Amino acid sequence: MEAQLSLADRMKLIKPSPTLAVNAKAKAMKAAGADILNFSVGEPDFDTPAHVCAAGKKAIDEGFTRYTAVPGIPELREAIVARYAADRGWHYEADQVQVCCGGKHGLYNMAQALFGPGDEVLIPTPYWVSYPPIVLLAGATPVFVPLDENENFDLTAENLSRCATAKTRGIILNSPSNPTGAIFSAKALEKVAQMALERGWVVISDDIYDTIVYEEVQVPHILDIEPKIKDQTIILNGVSKSFAMTGWRIGYSLGPKHVIAAMNKIQSQSTSNPASISQKAALAAVAGPQDFPGMMKQSFLPRREFIVGQLTSIEGISCVNPAGAFYVFPNFSAYYGKKFNGKVIAGSVEMSEYLLEESFMATVPGAAFGADEFVRFSFATSMSAIEEGMRRLKEALGKLA
């Protein structure tokens, strides 16, 4: 047997994305004939709007298939600037915008440009699965700031102060949150802004779910609460969630010119420009009608009400009502330690495996988000699937002893 090539040490720091791994396993089981209900998917269950698809097709027909500028075509960056000015009253210039290959790519570029060995990055927990590995790949250390279910997963001054050190370089905010759907309060963001200004932190605001909010209020944002923090803030966003464009792979970042320039350097030596065709489609999304996110939200709303009601009706399960995004994050810890056919449900991994194998329901274990008590369900699926899923869930939990 030939010797295998050795891998770089950095490969010891990361694992494959657990959400994508669960989705892949569910798809494989479905292809083999299993009646899978997939609650693991982190994408809207809608087709990309017709006018956006038409813009992509037009780009192909007109031969817009060559390299573009590394940070994205000027008209898309200008449209992003105009959208933020109109919607939020925040003023940027085109060279403060980078268009990249999805929001995750923007996070990676940012981390490579700003973080390094010796730096610590605060990550409120539960967190999106890719935050820690991307920080680790930059050579920095993730520091987890615990959030309490009983406080609606809000960030508290006490926990923030307890986790911050002289090595803290920045903090990642995700509001509305994946996986909890929670929104950080103005009070919490005011404390973050105060500490960031005093200590020179960079604030990374991942706003990818900012158009999917169920309460009729504007989500508190750190740039509204403390405008002085703008020069220390990187905004991450994209069209994936707002316009059901996950496969088009277009994200964007906004921030200080020198940081965006550094991120462009990284991008120039990795992917170069995002796909030209996808950029034209994204331009149609950003510059065109903005009613699509609202339409999706109206569809998600009754699903949210139903799934939360069903989950909280089950003895032993608690579930915070998500204020945004399209996930619920119920607490299953009351069922840990129970058994099925001699196998112990020790935590969220075993619970998700049990639900997949026994009930053909794909979920994501909370351990993937740094919170083992919980299991994530996406309600970006049909109401009929949710109804059947809740029936299967109750049946499966009833078999545990």
CA distance 200 to 170: 8
Strand 339-340 and strand 343-344: the pairing is antiparallel
Per-residue pLDDT in tens (0 to 9) along the chain, 401 residues: 678 999 999 999 988 887 777 878 888 998 999 999 999 988 999 999 999 999 999 999 999 999 999 999 999 999 999 999 999 999 999 999 999 999 999 999 999 999 999 999 999 999 999 999 999 999 999 999 999 999 999 999 999 999 999 999 999 999 999 999 999 999 999 999 999 999 999 999 999 999 999 987 778 999 999 999 999 999 999 999 999 999 999 999 999 999 999 999 999 999 999 999 999 999 999 999 999 999 999 999 999 999 999 999 999 999 999 999 999 999 999 999 999 999 999 999 999 999 999 999 999 999 999 999 999 999 999 999 999 999 999 999 999 99
Domain 9-47+292-398: assigned CATH number: 3.90.1150.10
Look at residue 122 in the predicted model and tell me its pLDDT: 99
Pick the CATH number of 51-287 from 3.10.450.50, 3.40.640.10, 3.50.30.20, 3.40.50.261: 3.40.640.10
Q: How many other CB atoms sit within 10 Å of the CB of residue 150?
A: 7
CA distance 68 to 150: 48
Look at residue 350 in the predicted model and tell me its pLDDT: 95
Ramachandran category for residue 170: left, alpha or beta (phi over 0 → left; psi -120 to 50 → alpha)? beta
Identify whether the C-beta of residue 393 lies closer than 8 Å to the C-beta of residue 362.
Answer: no
| CA distances from residue 70 to 220, 260, 276 in whole angstroms, order as listed | 32, 11, 10
Which one, of 353, 373, 345, lies nearest residue 25 by Cα?
353
Which one, of 188, 274, 211, lies nearest residue 46 by Cα?
211
CA distance 298 to 327: 15
Identify whether the C-beta of residue 48 lies closer than 8 Å to the C-beta of residue 245.
Answer: yes
List Cβ neighbours of 250 (8 Å cut-off, separation of 6 or more).
99, 100, 101, 102, 238, 239, 240, 274, 275, 278, 279, 281, 282
CB-side exposure of 283: number of CA atoms within 13 Å?
20
Shared fold status for 9-47+292-398 and 51-287: no
| Sign of the CA dihedral with 87 first, then 91, 92, and 94 last | positive
Helix (H) or strand (E) segment spanning residue 311:
helix 292-312
Per DSSP, the three-state class of 31 is helix
**249 phi and psi angles, rounded to 5 deg:** 60, 65
* Residue in this structure with the two tokens 């970006």, named with its chain if needed: 380
Which one, of 347, 376, 401, lies nearest residue 129 by Cα?
376
Q: How many other CB atoms sit within 10 Å of the CB of residue 153?
A: 25
Give the predicted TM-score (pTM) of the model: 0.96
| CA distances from residue 281 to 104, 143, 232 in whole angstroms, order as listed | 19, 37, 30
Q: Quote the Cα angle for 20-300-349, to 5°.
A: 35
Identify whether the C-beta of residue 62 lies closer than 8 Å to the C-beta of residue 267.
Answer: no
Burial class (CB in 10 A: 0-12, 13-18, 19+), 267: buried
Helix (H) or strand (E) segment spanning residue 376:
strand 375-378
Look at residue 1 in the predicted model and tell me its pLDDT: 63
Look at residue 21 in the predicted model and tell me its pLDDT: 79
Helix (H) or strand (E) segment spanning residue 362:
strand 361-362
Domain boundaries, the chain: 9-47+292-398, 51-287
